[in-house]
Amino acid sequence: MTTIVSAGVFLAFALVLFCVIKWWNLRIVGVTPVPLFTFIAILFTSGLDVGLVMFPLAFDFPLYADTAAEPAYAFTNPLALEFGFWGFLIWAFYFLTTFYFCAIEPRVKFFEIPLVRFINNMVIITTCAFTGALFLIYMPYYIAEVGDGETVIPAFYVICFLVILAATYSSTDIKYVRILSLSSTFIFIALILGMWAYAGMGFGEFLAVSSNIGGYFANLHKFVVPLTDYHEFYLFWWFAWSIMIGQFTARFVGGLKTWQLLAALLVLPSIPLAVWFSVLYFYHLNAIPTAGLINWSMTIVGILFVINSFDSLIRLYTDNLNLSPDRLGKLPYVIGNAVALFALTLAFQTQWLQIHWVGTVVIGLYVACFIYIVLRKRNAVLAINTSPEANTLDFNRIKAVH
């Protein structure tokens, strides 16, 4: 598995370099362009989940700090490791897929090939259900105030179903997705500021703690291939999400040039991640308790992130399968998707499905798409010098109105 994910990473980064060099100044326009802040909010909240909120304090920082048990982490500090698993370079995956679905897929139509479409939709549906299963399994740790902190009790099944139901309803209209993404972004910022104030951390202390992130950039090359099995899990997880997040968010790109899109995706999501992890690391270093209001606040924001992730994926696979609310009716659409996903979530609760398998399938799609383009669509792709004409016309019309 390590060889597969390492090869996938090298292929993805090579393709990123090629796209940036070949189409440096190409203006990228999606079918539903939005302002940059809205685009980043949709990308940020769709591409991340509750693990971002709950994992660092509960699992990650203690794991990375125990270098006796995990000597592979000894080369830098836990904050740099956490940032490296979630931030900066890894967002190049999302750049690649977003760029592809904006500029290349309309000419190639690889994902319209029936077999590819089927595999891609199965990846989306299984990843969505697998994420729901992980959310259900780890809920006793997220909501430690309920239950015994270890057992999945009936209340957690209810919460999980309600989360899926809310996400399904949100997916019925793109405007709900945008509103929820923007709202979640502002609530996440409020959580950061609230926890910063609660900890009594001064700005000087924040700068001192956040400077530890420099350990990531000083060792950037070490994060390219898996450091440990846990890092390998993260890389497969990013691959599993990369195609579907790129396919969904590509529609919202609002006229950025290729280099601007890359810079935006590497830098802009990394800023709130760096601040968030720095605040949490201060809590870790000073053993500040989070029981009560803080933990509930983190849980609520984490649940909002889960809803954001689910609604974008539900919207994507229902669009791909032509199972829209307009065609099915809103009530059958909401109930049908919610029940089906909850049933799959329960089926995957035993964790017989491994994210490594899903990530491997996605890497296979990368390779197959690359070969397909080289053999059959090379000239068409190399001739690309603009976004699809329909997107550009719509974008210019919107600009003229405003």
Locate the domains of the chain by residue range. 36-401
Q: How far apart are CA 217 and CA 81, in angstroms?
A: 10
Residue with tokens 């500029």: 103
| pLDDT tens digits, 81-91 | 999 999 899 99
Say what the pLDDT of residue 391 is: 61
- pLDDT score of 401 more than 70: no
Say what the pLDDT of residue 140 is: 83
- Close Cβ partners of 389 (under 8 Å, ≥ 6 residues apart): none
Encoded amino acid at 319, one letter = D
Structure tokens at 398: 């919107």
Percent of the chain at pLDDT exceeding 90: 55
- pLDDT score of 147 more than 80: no
Say what the pLDDT of residue 402 is: 46
Core vs surface per residue 138-169: b (16+ CB within 10 A) or e: bbbebbbeeeeeeeeeeebbebbbebbbbbbb
Give mean pLDDT, residues 285-292.
Answer: 88
Residue with tokens 């700005």: 203
Strand partners, 28: 256
Q: How many helices (H) and strands (E) does the chain have?
A: 21, 2
| pLDDT tens digits, 41-54 | 888 887 777 778 88
Reported as type and span, the H/E element at residue 254 is strand 254-257
- Average of per-residue pLDDT values in the chain: 88
- Do 360 and 9 form a contact (C-beta atoms < 8 A)? no
- pLDDT score of 397 more than 80: no
What DSSP line would sit under 90-149, residue for residue? Answer: GGHHHHHHHHIIIIIHHHH-GGGSHHHHHHHHHHHHHHHHHHHHHHHHHHHHHTTTSTTS
| pLDDT tens digits, 358-377 | 899 999 999 999 999 999 99
- pLDDT score of 400 more than 50: no
- Do 303 and 50 form a contact (C-beta atoms < 8 A)? yes
Q: How far apart are CA 24 and CA 16, in angstroms?
A: 11
Say what the pLDDT of residue 81 is: 96
Please tell me the CATH code under which domain 36-401 is placed: 1.10.4160
Composition of the chain by helix, strand, coil, percent to 5: 80, 0, 20
Q: How far apart are CA 388 and CA 31, in angstroms?
A: 9
- Do 205 and 370 form a contact (C-beta atoms < 8 A)? no
pTM equals: 0.89
- Per mean pLDDT, which range of 124-133, 140-149, 303-312 is the poorest? 140-149
- Do 49 and 306 form a contact (C-beta atoms < 8 A)? yes
Indicate the SS3 state at residue 27. Answer: strand
Q: What is the DSSP letter of 28?
A: E
> According to DSSP H, which parts of 171-202 are helical?
174-199
Percent of the chain at pLDDT exceeding 70: 96
- Do 357 and 84 form a contact (C-beta atoms < 8 A)? no
pLDDT category of residue 396 using cuts at 50, 70 and 90: low
- Close Cβ partners of 328 (under 8 Å, ≥ 6 residues apart): 336
- pLDDT score of 386 more than 60: yes
| pLDDT tens digits, 250-278 | 999 988 999 999 999 999 999 999 999 99
Structure tokens at 51: 């693990």
